[in-house]
Amino acid sequence: MYAVYSLCLANLRKKKVHNGLIGLLILLSTLLLATSVTVILNTNNLFTEMHNKTHGSHEILTLGDELHDPQKVYQWWKGQEGVTTSELIPFRALSGFTNKGKESPVGLSSLYLYMMDTPARPYAVDELIFAQGNESLKPEKGTIWLSTAIAYLYDISVGDTLEFTTGEKNFELEVSAVVVDMPYGSPFPTTVRIWMNHQDYSEQFDAMQGKDQYMMGLRFDDYSQSTSYWEQFEKDMGTPFLDSKMSFESMSAFYLIMNKVIGFIMIFLGIVMMLVALFTIGFTISDDILSNYKTIGVIKALGLSSRRMIGTYVTQYGLIAMVAIIPGLIASQWISSVIVESALSSLKTGVMMASLEGNLITFAVGIFVFILVVLCVLVYSNKARLVQPMQAIRYGMSESNTITMTKRFNARGNNIISFGRAPILVVIGLRNILKNRKASLLMMLLATIMSAVLVLGFVLLNSISSIKQTSPLWGYDDSDIILTITNKSAFSREEFDKTILTDQRIDNIGWIGALNGVVSPERNVNSEHSSVQPMYFQIDIMDGSYDEAGFTTLRGENPRNKDEIAIGIKVSQQLNIDVGDVVETYIEGYKHTLTVTGIYQSIANMSYSARITTAVIKVNHPDYNNLDLAAFLNLRDNRDSDYVVNELNEKYKGSLSAIKQQTLLDNTYKQAAASLILPMSIMGLLFTGVTIIIVYSISRINIRKESKTYGIYKSIGLTSTKIRLSVSLGTVAISAIGAVLGIFVGVYFLPLILGSILSNYGIAEAPLVLNWGGIIAFACVTMISAGFGSWASSRVVAKASPQILVIE
């Protein structure tokens, strides 16, 4: 046992740099794996914990008085066992606000606001958690409560004064508290609830045209049974629920999507990095056995058994792994908290988010990594059993390897490929690659992985930053300007259309609204395509052309006639229908038999939606003209966008808000880009560091084996710089091959894997924007990193004299 301890200690002392690099590699692998598991686990846990803490709703119903009697619906749900209901809360809808006294981001003016007539707390469903300000039963007069999703994103704090407009008048309210509002507090907010004092609500909206709408939340004791409740609702009411309903899946989607994407990428790449680490350890052990073949033979001849020789390697790398894994696990907790807090910032209620859970699982990851390292060492160090003392002492290698090498030397004279006329730098570089094939393969594999990681990160960030180019593939329009009506009573659509279409800069305009549609199993025309349960989804209705507005489809085309409908891919999957099928849908209480003309994808509502034209509604409502809430405006020259937006906002101030679509998309998705930057940067830096470390370690091993050769080169006049340059050029050449392969993996293969997550959110084909200049530039970082690692490791050639090198 003392011999094993002595050999292990000698190896640790003799190869301090090399052992340190291996330890760092294990640390980084542990860090990435533990971080990915912690992020995935805590994203769900923190959301679920907050949802339970607030008694969060599973469904939010929005009711008017045209389709259902709100009181009647409320009383029906109130009487259901196993369901907790919130109060029936009145609200009015407005568009946008400004932060008085501060520079207001453009995104604030594009928000859709639910101005709530706040009942007294506590609430049975969707309780509000106070993040800033003094907790109270309801807002004081002249004040409001604002959601954390908006407050944190737009830097609004307690004491700020916000200005709202009804179109007829403006009014100001002070933020007295910032609250976690679960149903409308997710990242990428476009709709927000503003909690008002009852007296303020009455003063501002009693004289406003229109009627109150109502909102109520439902929390099921067993959410999986919600379908049976809705079936009973249809039987008792004699009609499906025809107003708007938001499901738990829609509420939770944007809370979870970013961290699921990040966690998935990290765990996939963490596994890859772990495999690279194990392969590097295996390569190092194999090389060490070959390099010290004679020494091992002498030691075995002196009586040290093969089992104890293997134990030397296990002890050595086991100690290195233990020292490396512990700081990796500790660091993973800090990085995980930063990533989770960044993506779930809207749930933050204090200076720091609640401590992360899953310490046992994180510890299990550390144990798993340690076991993998030990098993890898056992497998590769088992080669020490094959060392025969007599062969080792005589040949310095096994007899079979000696015969192979002799044949190789004898065959060189007949080799067709000759480097006799090639530049000396090329010859040395290529010789280093060809002679150390396993090392070259490892460096090429590493370059492939690093290049793929960097390219994937760049492609994702570039795709989100350039979302304007692919907005139709995300389910959005591709128009130049978005118009939102802030005051219907002060706005005349007929006069606006007449004025706007005489403007030579305007190409076309399309007005859009949204309704609720219902499909029940027995109402599906094709029995073979029957659905298993009633399906509720949003239906967009347009007076104009979907194609002109820029909406696109995956298959088929957008609807144009009164008997046509295009459906989201999730609706298509759940109802098992495709282009050409016929479906019967209830819209505003009327049954419509519609032919599916197209299938599209949309992330906004997870593709649980559909598209129709106003011709469908006008079958039952010939005078239907309730689409003056929003419009898409296209210009003949989009360079006029800024001028047209400014003119419209000035001319129709108080009744209409105009904003460039580019600005709206940037404000909506800048949070997604911000959430991706940190984790992708961490992974990019980790893989860059790992590449430099491994290339440095491998090159150092190769140089040590070739020290005598390099000593001869220097003795005959070749400078150290030329030798180092030739070795580095060979490494750059092999890493260039890996970088090319990495581009293919990062652009085509990894996005396919990522698509499996996006498909759960209604995106069947990930819309990527490929900037090949940036892709090639990031791939070149791989070659630079490999070249730097190789150049740094060859410093020993410059420091040592030819005599010392030859002696070594």
**Rounded CA separation 389/412 (Å):** 30
Residue, of 654 and 152, whose pLDDT is higher: 152
Classify residue 524 by burial, with Cβ atoms within 10 Å: 0-12, 13-18, 19+: buried
Residue 559 one-letter amino acid: P
Q: Tell me whether residue 755 is exposed, middle or buried, using C-beta atoms within 10 angstroms of its C-beta: 0 to 12, 13 to 18, 19 or more.
A: middle
Residue 86 pLDDT > 80: yes
Q: Indicate the average pLDDT of the chain.
A: 79
Q: pLDDT digits over 681-734, tens only?
A: 777 887 788 788 888 877 877 777 777 777 777 777 777 788 788 888 888 888
pLDDT at 39: 77
Strands 535-543 and 481-485, sheet pairing: unpaired
Average pLDDT over residues 577-581: 89
Residue 741 banded pLDDT, cuts 50, 70, 90: very high
Residue scoring higher pLDDT (129 or 434): 129
Q: Can you give the pLDDT at residue 395?
A: 45
In angstroms, the CA 769 to CA 778 distance is: 15
Q: Let me know: does 559 contact 529? Beta carbons within 8 Å.
A: no
More confident residue, 518 or 92: 92
Judged against a pLDDT cut of 50, whether residue 85 lies above it is answered with: yes
pLDDT band, residue 527 (cuts 50/70/90): very low
What is the per-residue pLDDT across 119-142, written as a single tens digit (0 to 9) for each?
998 899 999 989 888 888 989 999
Closest to 597 (Cα-Cα) out of 548, 560, 570, 551? 560
Q: What is the pTM of this model?
A: 0.74
Nearest to 706 by CA among 730, 734, 732, 688: 730
Q: For residue 338, what is the enclosing H or E element?
A: helix 306-343
Per-residue pLDDT of 742-752, as tens digits, reads 999 888 888 88
Q: Is the pLDDT of residue 533 over 60?
A: no
Q: Is the dihedral of CA 8, 10, 12, 18 positive or negative?
A: negative
Q: Which of 197, 321, 180, 316 is CA-nearest to residue 255?
A: 180
- Residue 447 in contact with residue 783, Cβ under 8 Å? yes
**Pairing of β 191-196 and β 112-117:** parallel
Beta strands in 707-770 (DSSP E): none
From residue 37, alpha-carbon distances to 33, 266, 278 in Å are 6, 9, 20
Q: State the number of CA atoms in the 13 A half-sphere of 271 facing the CB.
A: 6
Given a cut of 90, whether residue 220 has pLDDT beyond it is yes
- Comparing 114-128, 170-184, 568-582, 709-723, which segment has the lowest mean pLDDT? 709-723
Q: Which residue has the tokens 């009487």?
A: 79
pLDDT score of 438: 76
- The mean per-residue pLDDT over the stretch 271-277 comes to 77
How many other β-carbons are positioned within 10 Å of the β-carbon of residue 589?
13
Tokens 């010789």 label which residue?
Answer: 431
Per DSSP (E only), the strands in 534-649 are 535-543, 555-556, 564-568, 582-587, 590-600, 609-613, 630-635
* pLDDT number for residue 596: 92
pLDDT at site 178:
92
Percent of all residues in the chain with a pLDDT value above 70, rounded to a whole number = 81
Q: Considering only residues 481 and 675, tell me which one the structure prediction assigns the higher pLDDT.
A: 481
Per-residue pLDDT at 802: 61
User: Quick one: tokens of 26?
Assistant: 């294990």
Residue 1: predicted pLDDT: 57
List, for residues 27-74, the tens digit of each pLDDT value: 888 887 888 788 777 777 778 888 888 899 999 998 876 778 889 999
Q: Which of 81-95, 417-431, 464-478 has the lowest mean pLDDT?
A: 417-431
DSSP secondary structure of 777-800:
HHHHHHHHHHHHHHHHHTHHHHHS
Q: Cα–Cα distance between 29 and 33 in angstroms, integer?
A: 6
Helices marked H in 603-660: 614-617, 641-651
Total count of residues recorded for the chain: 808
Instruction: Convert 468-481 to b/e letters by CB count within 10 Å (16 or more is b).
Output: bebbbbbbbbbbbb
Higher pLDDT pick, 479 / 344: 479
Give the residue, 800 or 435, on which the prediction is more confident: 435
Instruction: Indicate if the pLDDT at residue 282 is higher than 60.
Output: yes
> Does residue 122 have a cis peptide bond before it, meaning omega lies within 30 degrees of 0?
yes
716 Cβ partners below 8 Å, 6+ apart?
none
pLDDT confidence of residue 399: 46
Percent of the chain with pLDDT strictly greater than 90: 11
- Given a contact cutoff of 8 angstroms between Cβ atoms, the answer to whether 409 and 415 are in contact is no
Task: For residues 24 and 792, give the distance between their C-alpha atoms in angstroms, rounded to a whole number.
Answer: 17
Beta strands in 108-147 (DSSP E): 112-117, 129-133, 143-147
Cα–Cα distance measured from residue 450 to residue 574, given in angstroms and rounded to the nearest whole number: 39
pLDDT band, residue 489 (cuts 50/70/90): low
In this structure, what token pair is assigned to residue 716?
A: 């005959």
- What local confidence, expressed as pLDDT, does residue 177 receive? 92
Q: How far is 287 from 284, CA to CA, in rounded Å?
A: 5
Average pLDDT of the segment spanning 389-415:
50
Q: In the prediction, which pLDDT does 524 show?
A: 46
Average pLDDT over residues 628-633: 78
Q: Answer yes or no: are the C-beta atoms of 46 and 347 closer than 8 Å.
A: yes
> 588-609: per-residue pLDDT in tens?
778 888 999 999 998 877 888 8
- C-alpha separations of 358 from 36, 329, 351, 367, 657 in Å: 12, 12, 21, 14, 47
pLDDT surpassing 60 at residue 219? yes
Burial call 227-247: b when 16+ CB within 10 Å, e when fewer: eebbeebeeeeeebbbbbbbb
Q: How far apart are CA 211 and CA 432, in angstroms?
A: 81
Of the pLDDT bands very low, low, confident and very high (cuts 50, 70, 90), residue 293 is: low
Question: 134-148, 206-220, 237-251, 758-772: which has the minimum mean pLDDT?
Answer: 237-251
Instruction: Report the distance separating Cα 433 and Cα 435, nearest Å.
Output: 6
Average pLDDT over residues 82-109: 81
In angstroms, the CA 390 to CA 141 distance is 96
- pLDDT at site 611: 92
Q: Which of 200-209, 364-373, 384-393, 510-519 has the highest mean pLDDT?
A: 364-373
CA atoms of 476 and 493, how far apart (whole Å): 23
CA–CA distance, 596 with 33 (Å, rounded to integer): 45
Which of 395-404, 431-440, 583-592 reaches the highest mean pLDDT? 583-592
- State yes or no: pLDDT of 104 exceeds 70: no
